[in-house]
Amino acid sequence: MLLHAAIQEAGYSADQPVISDMEISVNPGELVGVIGPNGAGKSSLIKTILDIMNEVKGDIHLTKYAYIPERPIFYERLTLWEHIDFLLSVSDEDEKDFTKRAEELIDLFQLSAVKHHFPENFSKGMQQKLMIILAFLKQPKIYIIDEPFMGLDPKAVKKLLSLIEKKKSEGAGIFMSTHQLDTAEKICDRFILILNGRIIFQGTLEEIREKSGLHDGGSLLDCFDALTEGEPHEG
């Protein structure tokens, strides 16, 4: 198991937990999608898993990982390629192989013309592409991904999905939060449905359809609506 978390509660202060009573796991070769409306607790769950939430009660076990945040984060005054050089300097990988993979990923996402430019001057989509490149260069056992499709054009989304599928086939796990439910339906092996800081259900799409009573091919959105009917949505 690449990730297992049993969280009693977590929050930004001890007296105001934002998520509670959550138990999750990710296995090798598995893509688990975290689904919920704005303010449901998806990003807070990821912060808790990554040990950057202020107050946490529970146990979290996480193997070597790479993280793609919802909002791109860069070092000031470092070019795209200098970010890659820095990543190489803190890794134990062969320089030749690492550089070859970097060049391939830069070419794949069509950033070759700007590899010596500063990311702070990039568009949101270009910044997101660089975050993806840096994450997939690390070759971890599990990828933690928060809203990866925001700002990406359709071709870039397709390339990211191909990378995810390739890493899954190699045994990596993926833990991904997304609002793109139609895409999530097609690629996720299991789902964790979150509302108001709690898990309302988790399982495969077929299990979610069974639980929601939508046996005849109900969409993930339809199932979520059915399972949360009458529940107040915070945020």
pLDDT one digit per residue (tens) for the chain, 235 residues: 999 999 999 999 988 999 999 999 999 999 999 999 999 999 999 999 999 998 999 999 999 999 999 889 999 899 999 999 999 999 988 999 999 999 999 999 999 999 999 999 999 999 999 999 999 999 999 999 999 998 899 999 999 999 999 999 999 999 999 999 999 999 999 999 999 999 999 999 999 999 999 977 889 999 999 998 866 555 4
Cross-strand bridge partners of residue 205: none
What is the distance between the alpha carbons of residues 178 and 196, in angstroms, rounded to a whole number? 16
Domain presence at residue 146: yes
Domain presence at residue 34: yes
Residue 6: phi and psi, rounded to 5, are -120, 100
3-state secondary structure of 189: coil
Q: Is 136 left (phi over 0), alpha (psi -120 to 50) or beta?
A: alpha
Contact 55, 12 (CB under 8 A): yes
Contact 10, 23 (CB under 8 A): no
Residue corresponding to tokens 């969409």: 219
Domain presence at residue 201: yes
Domain presence at residue 234: no
- Residue 150's pLDDT is 85
Residue 116 structural domain: 3-227
| CATH number of the domain within which 48 lies | 3.40.50.300
Domain presence at residue 235: no
- Single out the residue of 233, 108, 93, 230 nearest to residue 166, CA to CA: 108
Domain presence at residue 30: yes
Using alpha carbons, list the distances in angstroms from residue 15 to 12, 48, 168, 176. Answer: 9, 16, 39, 28
- Residue 235's pLDDT is 46
Domain presence at residue 60: yes
Number of helices and strands in the chain (H, E): 8, 9
In the chain, the number of structural domains is 1
Domain presence at residue 232: no
- Single out the residue of 54, 58, 50 nearest to residue 21, CA to CA: 58
- The pTM score is 0.94
